[in-house]
Chain A
Amino acid sequence: MSAPMLEAVQLTKAYGAQVALAGLDLQVAAGEIVCLLGANGAGKTTTINLFLGFTPPTSGEARVNGRAVTEHPLETKRWLAYIPEQVALYRNFTGVENLAYFSELAGRRYAKRELLAWLSKAGLPDEAAQRHVATYSKGMRQKVGIAIAMAKEAKALLLDEPTSGLDPQAANEFSQLLTSLAAQGVAVLMTTHDLFQARQVATRIGIMRQGRLLTTLTSAELGQRDLEAVYLEQMQN
């Protein structure tokens, strides 16, 4: 395994007495797709937030490309892209204008032709890309989110339940995109409730409960085992 792009070292987050994440140790290398499974409140989103620097850890450290997030909040974001469950966009701007703006915030400036190409790669046709986002379905907004992440050419992707609410075809297209990005060397950390998708794309699956990472299984270790059964077994222990 190459050097980790994302690394959690005894990463802990507590809100008073409430422990949201307890001593997480996790590494995601370039080209890996790690899916975190778990019930609501398991600590999946907290993990993502800690890597993004949206919340400071109580103890431990989140590192991106070897740099501590708390010490280098802006620098570490240079390597990251993030797709939330609901991609929020500016409703009175077109898809291509949204992509142009978010790309500029990420320090990249593209010609309109290039922007359309990114959107097309994410699955959004030109006609839709030039319509106001107010007319978009959730799936179309997610595609713009993917385009934003791809246009940033990030080394690591943080995905927080990105396919939640997408129709099966859109979710499948999304999975294919992820696999293709990972093949290009992008490290992916994704939280999801979708066991089918996790099984489909993950190179490693982590199961979390009450802030703890109970187990991680590579796709080889998982083999032909039923992921749902493994998941329920971990939840019941």
Chain B
Amino acid sequence: MPMWLAVARHEFQGLLRDHRFWWSCGAVGLLLLAATVAGWQQARVAHRERAAANALAREHWVTQPPKNPHSAAHYGVYAFKPQTALAFVDAGVDDYAGVVAYLEAHRRNDLTGAAAQDGRAQRWLPLTAAGLLQRVLPLLIIVLAFDAVAGERESGTLRLAASLGARPGALIAGKLLGIGGALGLALLPAGLAGGALLWTLDGAPWEAGRFALMAAGYTLYGLMFLALTLAASARWSSRVALLSMLGFWAVSGFVVPRVASDLAARWVPTPSRPAFESAVARDLREGIDGHDPPAERLKAFEARLLAQYNAKRLEDLPINPYGLLMQESEEHSNRVYEHHYGRIWSAFERQARLREIAAVASPGLAIGNLSMALAGTDVVHHIAFAEAAEQYRHPFIKTLNEDWAYRSTLATDEAYTADAGLWTAMPPFTYRPPALGEALRRQWLSLALFGVWCGIACAALSWATRRLVRLE
């Protein structure tokens, strides 16, 4: 048997005989299981409610009584963000940014249905599988491995092993494998149970590729933390190794993400809700940045319309100018919203980029960003859904306005109503989230920094292993 395998087996057996191992792994495993079951339960309810709400909203739409199409546009429809099963492993920004879009005439509404709105979300330590894997798993690893080498040095077993010709590389590799294997074994039931529960989630698209990548990512993240802890243990005394790793865990897991978010918000400010609405209202009133005020624009539009139909008065038109005026107004408001949301999206993306950069000091941020991307709950997916809903709203409202315009005149305006024929002809909202490749491509920086952290862990371990040759 190769020496590293003998060390791994010994380390594995030693951990399995240690009550502390079972207590700590049991606690984390139970937490993971509880988080996954709670997520699954919440997801089941959410999916059921969302499917019911979606069906009900559609039914309300198609069964609404005959009415003016523009009134129907005000009645509006809902678009629901389809969430993957993994969204319940990592809720990402969905908890704060919302998953439901209410689409109506004249207005672009923010997404609603955020967990933060009803107190379901917790900022400090979200009890989701991802939150636990990012923050609690490293703590478990530190507690189990801080004295893996230092403890042996202090007790003298390392000296005895070295005197027998044990190679430092084999000792460290064996410990990495043995501790990693024992941890994997202890946490596997929670992982398998969670995977099985998520697999059975009705209505949630199950993407094996994303799941496999997420599992691989968190496994690598755990191994990276284990490698750093072993490096600290190989280099320093067990006390110093424990304190330094706990410090690193606290700073990289809590301080850096918090500071990164605060700095991102400070360096790339986004307007407050009243300021945003006031700016939108001003541009709707006066045109974007004061150009193209609506009164003049609508006057010009009327003139074009009269010229197009060679008419002198609106009453003489063979169409209903109100419908086209509404559409003209709609297109103006679309441009205004596009302008302002474009700025907001750009700010969100820059803030997200700053948080990605902060992963230089926090491997947890790197895996967190990748995890959200894989779960389809990062800023990129949020913007993609919000934009898809908006792109659905434009033709939806236009169809209704044009029906009003071309199927009535000013004379028949009050009597004109559209009916179920039109309502059912309007296609329901469908959405395809960014493909896996695109989602990862947008997270290239997080991916690169995660790779850098893995490289740092390997280098630290290699450096500490070389130092292990000398025991003085």
Contacts and interface: CB of A to CB of B under 8 A. Distances in A.
Interface of A: 49, 52-56, 73-74, 77-78, 80-82, 84, 86-90, 92-93, 101-102, 104-107, 109, 145, 148, 152, 158
A84 B158 CA distance: 12
Contacts of B164: 77, 81-82, 102, 105-106, 148, 152
A107 B163 CA distance: 12
Contact of B155 (A49, A82, A88): A88
The 8 closest A-B pairs by CB, nearest first: A88-B156, A82-B163, A77-B165, A104-B6, A106-B164, A105-B166, A55-B472, A54-B471
Nearest to A103: B164
Given A55-B470, A104-B6, A77 B163 contact: yes
A55 B159 CA distance: 12
A69 B155 CA distance: 25
Given A78-B165, A88-B159, A101-B10, 20 more contacts: A49-B472, A52-B162, A54-B159, A54-B472, A55-B471, A55-B472, A82-B159, A87-B160, A88-B160, A89-B157, A90-B14, A90-B157, A92-B14, A92-B17, A93-B13, A102-B160, A105-B6, A106-B164, A106-B165, A158-B163
Contacts of B159: 54, 82, 84, 88
B469 interface: yes
Interface in B1-31: 1, 3, 6-7, 10, 13-14, 17-18
Contact of B161 (A53, A55, A87, A105): A105
B167 interface: yes
Contacts of A87: 156, 160
A43 B162 CA distance: 21
Contacts of A55: 470-472
Contacts of B471: 54-55
A158 B167 CA distance: 19
A54 B156 contact: no
Which residue, of B6, B163, B164, has the highest number of chain A Cβ atoms within 10 A?
A: B163
Contacts of A74: 165, 167
B3 A104 contact: yes
Interface string B115-141: 000000000000000000000000000
Contacts of A152: 164
Range, interface on chain B: 20 to 34
Nearest to A101: B10
Contacts of A158: 163
Nearest to A102: B164
B160 A148 contact: yes
Given A74-B167, A84-B156, A54 B162 contact: yes
Contacts of B157: 88-90
Interface of B: 1, 3, 6-7, 10, 13-14, 17-18, 155-157, 159-167, 469-472
Nearest to A74: B165
Nearest to A98: B157
B469 A73 contact: yes
A105 B159 CA distance: 12
A105 B4 CA distance: 9
Given A77-B163, A92-B17, A105 B470 contact: no
B370 to A, nearest CB: 38
Contact of B160 (A53, A82, A92): A82
A169 B109 CA distance: 90
Contacts of A80: 163, 165
A104 B8 CA distance: 12
Nearest to A79: B165
Contacts of A49: 472
Contacts of B469: 53, 73
Contacts of A52: 162-163
20 contacts: A49-B472, A55-B470, A56-B470, A77-B164, A78-B165, A81-B164, A82-B160, A86-B156, A87-B160, A88-B155, A88-B156, A90-B10, A92-B17, A92-B18, A93-B13, A104-B3, A105-B7, A105-B164, A105-B165, A105-B166
A90 B6 CA distance: 15
B160 to A, nearest CB: 6
A53 B470 CA distance: 7
Which residue, of B6, B156, B160, B166, has the highest number of chain A Cβ atoms within 10 A?
A: B160
Nearest to B163: A82
Contacts of A148: 160, 164
Contacts of A84: 156, 159-160
A52 B17 CA distance: 32
A56 B156 CA distance: 19
Nearest to B170: A105
A105 B470 CA distance: 18
Nearest to B166: A105
Contacts of B167: 74
B14 A102 contact: no
A189 to B, nearest CB: 13
Given A77-B165, A87-B160, A101-B6, A109 B1 contact: yes
Which residue, of A54, A102, A105, has the highest number of chain B Cβ atoms within 10 A?
A: A105
A140 B165 CA distance: 24
A145 B156 CA distance: 12
Which residue, of A49, A89, A90, has the highest number of chain B Cβ atoms within 10 A?
A: A90
Nearest to B155: A88
Contacts of A106: 164-166
Contact of B3 (A73, A78, A93, A105): A105
A109 B162 CA distance: 17
Contacts of B162: 52, 54, 77
Contacts of A78: 165
Contacts of B161: 102, 105
A168 to B, nearest CB: 25
